[in-house]
A and B are shown apart, each in its own frame.
Chain A
Amino acid sequence: EKTKEGLFSKITKAVVGKSTVDDDVLDELEEILVNSDVGVQTTLKIIERIQARVARDKYINTSELNEILRAEIQSLLSENNSNDFRNFEYGDHKPYVIMVVGVNGVGKTTTIGKLAHKLKLAGNKVVLGAADTFRAAAVDQLKLWAERVNVRIVAQPMGSDPASVAFDTLQSAVANGDDVAIIDTAGRLHNKVALMNELTKIKQVMQKVVPGAPHEILLVLDASTGQNAIEQCKQFTQATEVNALALTKLDGTAKGGVVIGISDQFKIPVKYIGVGEGIEHLQLFNKKEFVDSLFK
């Protein structure tokens, strides 16, 4: 069980019943948000908004404060104008191609396994592409997930060209009439130029088979990552035009607050959250629930 002191009760103590926000109160608020990895910049943004409200409304009671804080944070998550995704189905493209990217060890392969499971349950024919041909036993890992979920997988030997695996996977998806193709890629740190260029190439090769592919470029972020996630988001977006985020390992004590700033700054919606290692442990992101979890 999570043992952190209720964040909201701390904030309440600090603000409620005061007509101005004094420095101690702001420090308290800052601590609470920074401790969730919200980051100084975004924290200051939230604090400014709260300050403005307190100055205007003079006296705030507990329930009002509760509402204001949640609303302000939710609005930062909503400034990309996205609604939460409502289901695991896809309409327009066939095959719908998802390319999964991110730094090492964040949970890309596991997220793919879990997502394939959800998509299959929603009635889709799914194929996986094992384009991580680099990390030890990466192909074996994805194969085991394909077996577990009971979907097809396209793979080549370790060390093969990942772009070629992606190409093969899409050709196979087209030939087989699959609804969704999900391409796993090797973890890579965003400051490695050659590896980032490789991603751009993998992406471009896919367009030769399916115009417009990949339709979804999913950047996987680990909830326990701190402010470096912002730079990850920036660099992966530059290399591949990321258009969706997955936040993993939210079953731990880390809050993943860094996505608030990311969502605000890059206008990329969080689509999925990972809440465990099991096949069922993937959920659609829900802004309200996420913000509520910050205050638990």
Chain B
Amino acid sequence: MFENLQDKLDRAFKVLKGQGSITEINVAETMKEIRKALLDADVNYKTAKAFTDDVKEKALGLNVLTSISPGQLLTKLMNDELAVLMGGTVEELNISANPTIILIAGLNGAGKTTFSGKLANYLLTKKNKKPLLVAGDVYRPAAIDQLEVLGGQIGVPVYTDRTSKDPVAIAMAGIAEAKKNGQNVVIIDTAGRLAIDEGLMKEIAEVKAQTKPHEILFVVDSMTGQDAVNTAKAFNDRLDFSGVVLTKLDGDTRGGAALSIKSVVNKPIKFIGTGEKMEALDVFYPDRMASRILGMGDVVSLVERA
């Protein structure tokens, strides 16, 4: 049944237990288990392979300290490596322009509309901004209502045009509205779309071309599996987005997709969603995500104390 990465690693590290040094043989065996565990965490197949190969090389070059077991050493090494891969430092949003235009994009149901509301709330309450939400999803039933309800909850105005079916025109009108009313951030919600839907991808590329956003955030469900790589790449090829938002991290997914996305498009993950409420937004911490994917926050702190 469901085994988390921690169980797997514990089992994998048994191979190393009692052995004084990291050798080609024991590290290979362990890496195989770790690779499997990464795959269970939904890390992309190629990414997992490259990562374990890399860690293996580094591990073999290490001198084993007497105070610490090879297993623990390897654990810490992995966590550090992963944290570096996840981005190293916290990346801030670029919101200096007036008005700052932020375009939100992603697959169906990823959490774009909810995130748009959360971001507006964050900018209003934490960054002292005057945001305007723009309802650019003209397809999903009640998408406009949804954004209006969220805007109402957080006290942020929402620009809508229920007579229009043209997201580009709506976005441009929204920006004009913001300028008129002195709102200094414009957050444009868009419809969910598949990366292979040529018509809709063209449409969002056009929204980008016309509105010239300062930030384009790609919103992705943290439970996504192997397809995360294809989708992130396709959206990035089309939009050259500036950051990633990982949603639904209040669940129990390991979130390996985060690593895959980072490694395939090399764009910073800027925010995480941790609930349905408007306050459930956090900035992204690469080291925390690394520990989550590995499922071994405890082990790391143990090693750090040793």
Contacts and interface: CB of A to CB of B under 8 A. Distances in A.
B95 interface: no
B39 A37 contact: no
Given A103-B223, A141-B145, 10 more contacts: A31-B45, A37-B227, A104-B276, A136-B113, A136-B150, A144-B142, A226-B228, A229-B223, A253-B194, A253-B231
Contact of A224 (B117, B142, B145, B224): B224
B251 interface: yes
Interface string B263-284: 0000000000000100000000
Give the size range of B's interface with the partner: 35 or more
Interface string B196-235: 1000000000000000000000000101111110110000
Contacts of B150: 136
Interface stretch (B21-29, B103-111, B125-133, B166-174): B103-111
Contacts of A252: 107, 194-196, 227, 231
A133 interface: no
B45 A222 contact: no
A249 interface: yes
Contact of A105 (B110, B145, B230): B110
A226 B196 contact: no
Contacts of B254: 228
B90 interface: no
B74 interface: no
A106 B108 CA distance: 8
A135 B227 CA distance: 27
B36 A225 contact: no
A228 B253 contact: yes
A228 B227 CA distance: 14
Interface in A234-257: 234, 249, 251-255
Given A37-B226, A37-B227, A230 B221 contact: no
A226 B142 contact: no
- Which 7 pairs between the two chains have the least Cβ-Cβ distance? A226-B225, A105-B109, A226-B42, A144-B141, A254-B227, A136-B149, A137-B145
A228 B146 contact: no
Interface residues of A, number: 51
B157 to A, nearest CB: 16
B186 interface: no
B170 to A, nearest CB: 18
A251 B109 CA distance: 14
Contacts of A228: 42, 223, 251-254
A14 B248 CA distance: 38
18 contacts: A31-B45, A34-B45, A35-B226, A103-B248, A105-B110, A136-B114, A137-B145, A141-B141, A189-B248, A189-B251, A189-B252, A191-B252, A192-B250, A226-B257, A227-B225, A230-B2, A252-B194, A265-B1
Given A35-B226, A137-B142, A230-B2, A105 B111 contact: yes
A107 B109 contact: yes
A34 B227 contact: no
Contacts of A292: none
Interface of A: 1-2, 4, 31, 34-37, 39-41, 103-107, 113, 134-138, 140-141, 143-145, 148, 189-192, 222, 224-231, 234, 249, 251-255, 258, 265, 277
Contact of B142 (A39, A134, A141, A249): A141
A222 B109 contact: yes
Contacts of B230: 4, 253
A262 to B, nearest CB: 11
Contacts of B146: 135-137, 140-141
Interface string B1-14: 11000000000000
A226 B107 contact: no
B293 to A, nearest CB: 12
B194 A225 contact: no
Contacts of A37: 42, 225-227
A226 B254 CA distance: 10
A187 to B, nearest CB: 8
Contacts of A107: 108-109
A39 B111 contact: no
Nearest to B249: A189
Contact of B221 (A145, A224, A253): A224
